[in-house]
Structure formats: C-alpha cells, structure tokens
Amino acid sequence: MFRTTTASVFKRSSIPRLYSTTHQIPFDTKPFPFSRFEACCPDADAKQAENGFVPCKSHPFPPVLGKKIDMTDPMTRPTSIRHIVGCIGSDAMEWTRAKVETVPGIMQSIMTTENQWLKENRQAQAPGDGEKSVLATVAERPAAVADIPDVMLFPEFKVFQGAPSTNGVIDQSSSLYHALASIWQNPCNALPPLEQEQGWQDIKADTVVLVCTHARRDLRCGKLGPLIVDEFNRVIQEKGLQDKVEVWGTSHFGGHKFAGNLIIHQRGLGGHVYGNVRQCHVPAIVDRHIVHGKVIQEIWRGEVAPPPSSI
C-alpha cells in the first residue's frame, strides 16, 4: 500500500534514524499451552478435519470455515517497520469493500496524497527493493469527531485527531501531512515533533490489540475475528485492564488462511503479529504478552513495528 524502502540505504539520510539495525525479541521461555489453532475443549464426538481442525465445545466456530484454515504452513508476516491505522468506526463505508482503499475515506486519501508527494519528491525518496516498509489498515476505533477519521501511528503510540483533507488529499499545512511525508521519504526516520497543539495526542492505553475482522475480504477472519475481540474484552475486563488495553477490529493485513490474525502493539515491545489464534488462546495471550511482556513464538507471525531505539 505504501512505497518501498530498505534499511540498507538509510545511512545516507541526515535525519536521525528511529530504528536500530538489530534488537532482541523477548520470546517467552514458558511453553504456550496450545499448538496452532488448537481447541481448549476438543469435541470428542466430532471428526478431525483433514487440516487438523477440531471443534471446541466451549468456543464454537463454523466447521466449514475451520476446515479451510492453514495450520501447518510456515506463517508469513506483513513486511513493515511502521503501522498507520485509520480510525473510522464500525459503520464506515470501507467495511463494505474487500479493499478499503477503493471507496472515499482516510485510506484512499492517504494513498492519493502519497502518490502526489512521490511525483513532487522523487529525488528525496530513499530507494527501495520492493519490500513494503509501512503497513496501513483501518480500524473500528471511533474517531474523536464523527465522520472525520483519526490516524494512529505505531510504534509512536500517537493519534492525530480529525485528519484534515480537501478533495480527498491530506492538507499539506497539517502536522499529519508532515509526519506522513517523513515516513514516505524514509520509514526509518525519526518523525518531526508530534505536539498536542498540532493535533496529536498520546494514545492513553499501553497496549492496542488489532484483530482482523474484515469479513468482506475473507470469511475466516470475518467470522472468527469478532469472537476473538469479544473474548479479549471479556478477559481484559476480568483482569481490570480496561484502562490499559484497547481492542479493535481491523482490516486485512495479509494471511487470512492463518486466521485468527491479530496485531498487538505494546509500549516498549513494538508491534507483533499472531496467527492461528482461537478464542481459547486469548487468556494465555493476555497473560503472557500483555501482562508479562513476552512474545509467544508458537503462534508468532513476525514483527510489524519494532520498538523505537534511543537516538
């Protein structure tokens, strides 16, 4: 969705880099209690499908879709080092399309603005190798002002309230435009100051969970995603974490065959993608990843936004 850049050419930039070239991921040394898409309460009366799917007595899921989930292939990840999220609410027109950028809205505006920026600044853009360095999705998180989408940036944990646009193009005078332009020039750049008086706010939560619920793109995530969102909200409420954790449905970010898919952004830990998640797994994910800050390797698809390094 965004133009490509690679870390190998970032040395030439005079702007400080946000990311270090290497960092250690704190994988959990404690075994995860489930294998990929394993049920917590397998239905002994149900026949195991050819792909290994077994229904769960406690957490129902349509077998016709369970049979279509890949539980064996190596799980791929979105190739990115930043994540931009348009906050459009749950009733926006984008959810009625398989590709959210095909209807007027924040994603279409960002893409149109990027294309315009590229035409005017080709010499300023760092060359790439075909790898997508920025992941862009929309989420069900409501905007601060109705019908004017907000934009979240990760790993900064910042939100721009009320993205200003004219005729489907982000206003060049806005701080949002300048932040996006810095990313388009080089996704590893440290962003310009994101000040409150310029429209930016800190995301109050320490953790943001984004679960793919994009039914128009694929029914596997479309059916399983909302169930996972509900289970996250139940567990978070039970543990008294509702002020520290946000959970939202999000649009497609690749790998529907590995449903359920989700991204967890956490301060200091970065953004990590998990796949083959069932409702059964949510309590353990909350405990290990959100509470204890450990990445679960058994269901890990990769990293989408490394934590910021010291500059």
Residues 234-256, mean pLDDT to the nearest whole number: 97
- 62 beta partners: none
Q: pLDDT tens across 129-169, in order?
A: 445 589 999 999 999 998 899 999 999 999 999 999 999 99
Report the pLDDT value the prediction gives residue 126, as an integer from 0 to 100. 57
Asked if pLDDT for residue 125 goes beyond 80, the answer is no
Q: Peptide bond before 260: cis, by omega within 30 degrees of 0? A: yes
In order of 262, 274, 276, 299, 306, the CA distances from 269 in angstroms are 15, 14, 21, 17, 7
Report the pLDDT value the prediction gives residue 161, as an integer from 0 to 100. 95
Q: What is the CA radius of gyration of the chain?
A: 19
Report the pLDDT value the prediction gives residue 64, as an integer from 0 to 100. 96
Q: pLDDT tens across 72-101, in order?
A: 999 987 778 999 999 999 999 999 999 999
Report the pLDDT value the prediction gives residue 121, as an integer from 0 to 100. 87
Task: Look up tokens 């721009």; give the residue.
Answer: 160
Report the pLDDT value the prediction gives residue 78, as an integer from 0 to 100. 76
Residues 104-127, mean pLDDT to the nearest whole number: 86
Asked if pLDDT for residue 209 goes beyond 60, the answer is yes
Report the pLDDT value the prediction gives residue 231, as an integer from 0 to 100. 98
**Of 221, 225, 281, 217, which Cα lies nearest the Cα of 68?**
221
Residue-averaged pLDDT of the chain? 89
Asked if pLDDT for residue 243 goes beyond 70, the answer is yes
Which tokens go with 52? Answer: 């290994």
Report the pLDDT value the prediction gives residue 1, as an integer from 0 to 100. 40
Q: pLDDT tens across 167-207, in order?
A: 999 999 999 999 999 999 888 888 888 888 888 999 999 99
Could you give phi then psi for residue 257, rounded to 5 degrees?
A: -65, -15
Report the pLDDT value the prediction gives residue 128, as an integer from 0 to 100. 53
Q: pLDDT tens across 252-274, in order?
A: 999 999 999 999 999 999 999 99
Kind plus residue range of the DSSP H or E element containing 154: strand 150-154
Report the pLDDT value the prediction gives residue 188, as an integer from 0 to 100. 85
Q: Give residue 111's identity as a one-letter amino acid code.
A: M
Q: CATH second-level architecture of 63-72+204-305? A: 3-Layer(aba) Sandwich (3.40)
Distance from C-alpha of 302 to C-alpha of 78, rounded to nearest angstrom: 8
Query: Percent of the chain at pLDDT above 70?
Result: 89
Asked if pLDDT for residue 27 goes beyond 70, the answer is yes
Report the pLDDT value the prediction gives residue 130, as an integer from 0 to 100. 41
Q: pLDDT tens across 42-51, in order?
A: 999 999 999 9
Could you give phi then psi for residue 159, rounded to 5 degrees?
A: -130, 130
Domain boundaries, the chain: 63-72+204-305, 82-202
